[in-house]
Structure 1
């Protein structure tokens, strides 16, 4: 039965080879009780695949009004090129696509609050702490990307006492070299990852190789933060309300134009 008058929320993530790694599905289940409409999820590189999910949604009449949430932490090829191409291919050019997580309004305040809480819990001073942002990165990176530098600067702007560094899982600068980059007595690691995959579970801990002598704390991957679902929900609701108001305004404007004789 078609869903009339409701907006569908679709969470799209990269995908993982880990059997029980399902970050998009977990997020969808967290959002479902709070969303007035269907909520589902898909992956770009694993199952359920995005094309298959879109096909089923179209058959169910769930795509007339669609908000897509990219569970990504950079605006790379998958978000900027492949995702829009697949939506266009499915005839869903009208879909409302939110920015990746790091581009959401409120993302930096959310991170800043977590950093402040962590520092206070450890009785650390920001001026004595190096914050390592840990993105997935790319094997081809020889230095931080412009987007990574921008993210680091945004955090440094709100917590200026911190020393903020980039430490990629893949590419340079590498997380494996974090000790040579640390310039403060304490270190914090913030994985810009969805969570649940091989990188978060295995690669990051192995690359850091922390010892008892290290004054370090590893934060949970942002994709599993409890503060993230409310942030996404707020952005999706605002986008939907804006679209509805705009549609009503456009319809009313056309009605007036057709009703009032020219001249």
Structure 2
């Protein structure tokens, strides 16, 4: 059976961020065929609008690094509103060892060395399950680079800036590993936290693209059954 494939991202007004999502979707399409893109916030089309114009069964992959309101509440609500009878929503993209490997590579690119302090910077969430997932993601990175401190740039404490400030008092070099998908307001803020260097977002890294492609070709998730 042929499925329609829909990649769902947060949405951003930052042109570089939007270009990154477009690049990711295009790269995934090279692996799995045509991929449509929807956004849960800021931009359109939203998932409901995409699904309303789709007749065949659909696999929806949330391009989010942890679950939370948008993945657990917002996205299912838009799917329900569409009335589409056959939609499978896969889990969020992270945490995953693949993402930890990408972050390690990004750290090496900006000059990190073993012994340097690492702060993994996430947007954050008020959802306890999402916060546990972010802690898991930090632990996976820690398995590769040693001690990792988890900080938040939007929602939650400790903030990235506070952790960097504390670690710098020890005289160590401090590196921020950006656990963000694309450039935007949040990533820009990381450059103002006083770290020695900040990695690039995960972006359209080939391994992230392959991870998304695998989500589409081997979807793990519960088919969505609309309520009547």
Which residue number in structure 1 is paired with residue 177 of structure 2?
190
Which residue number in structure 2 is paired with residue 30 of structure 1?
27
Change (3 A) 1:237 1:26: same
Change (3 A) 1:81 1:186: same
Which residue number in structure 2 is paired with residue 47 of structure 1?
43
After TM superposition, give the deviation of residue 124 of structure 1 in Å: 2.0
**CA offsets, 1:13-57, max 9 Å, x none?**
111122453143222111222223x3110111122231222223x
After TM superposition, give the deviation of residue 122 of structure 1 in Å: 4.1
1:164 to 135, 148, 158: 148
Report the number of matched residues: 215
Which residue number in structure 2 is paired with residue 77 of structure 1?
69
Change (3 A) 1:154 1:118: closer
> Which protein has greater RCO, CA pairs closer than 8 Å, 6+ apart?
2
Q: Is the 8 A contact 2:102 2:202 kept in 1?
A: no
**CA offsets, 1:139-165, max 9 Å, x none?**
x69xx9333323222333x33x61111
Q: Is the 8 A contact 2:152 2:160 kept in 1?
A: yes
Gaps of 5+ in 1: 211-215, 244-263
Whether 2:195 is the aligned partner of 1:203: answer no
Q: How does 1:1-263 map to 2 (within 5 A)?
A: 5-22=1-18, 23-36=20-33, 38-50=34-46, 51-56=48-53, 58=54, 61=55, 64-92=56-84, 94-103=86-95, 107-112=96-101, 114-115=103-104, 118-119=107-108, 122=111, 124-125=113-114, 128-138=115-125, 145-156=131-142, 158-159=143-144, 162-170=146-154, 171-177=156-162, 178-181=164-167, 185-200=172-187, 202-206=188-192, 208-210=193-195, 216-239=196-219
Change (3 A) 1:163 1:29: same
TM-score by structure 1 length?
0.70
Gaps of 5+ in 2: 223-228
After TM superposition, give the deviation of residue 120 of structure 1 in Å: 9.0
Q: Is the 8 A contact 2:123 2:153 kept in 1?
A: yes
Q: Larger radius of gyration, structure 1 or 2?
A: 1
Coordinate RMSD, CA, aligned: 3.0
Q: Is the 8 A contact 1:168 1:175 kept in 2?
A: yes
**How far apart, in 2, do the equivalents of 1:231 and 1:14 lie?**
18
TM-score by structure 2 length?
0.79
Change (3 A) 1:118 1:233: same
